[in-house]
Homo-oligomer: A and B are copies of this chain.
Amino acid sequence: MNRRKMITGLSLLAGGAALSAGAAQSGNALVKGFSHHVFFWLKDPKNAQVRKKFQDGLQKLVTVDEIVESHLGVPANTNRDVVVNTYTYSLLLFFKDKADQDIYQTHPTHLKFIEECSALWEKVEVYDTVPF
Contact = CB atoms under 8 A, between A and B. Distances in A.
Interface of A: 1, 3, 6-7, 9-10, 13-14, 16-18, 25-35, 37, 39, 55, 59-60, 62-65, 67-78, 80, 82-85, 87, 89-90, 92, 94, 98, 101, 124-132
Contacts of A31: 69-71
What DSSP secondary structure best describes chain A's contact surface? mixed
A130 to B, nearest CB: 5
A28 B7 CA distance: 18
Contacts of A37: 37, 92, 127
Nearest to A109: B26
Contacts of A25: 59-60, 62-63, 70
B10 A131 contact: no
Contact of A84 (B18, B82, B89, B126): B126
B73 A28 contact: no
A6 to B, nearest CB: 4
B28 A68 contact: yes
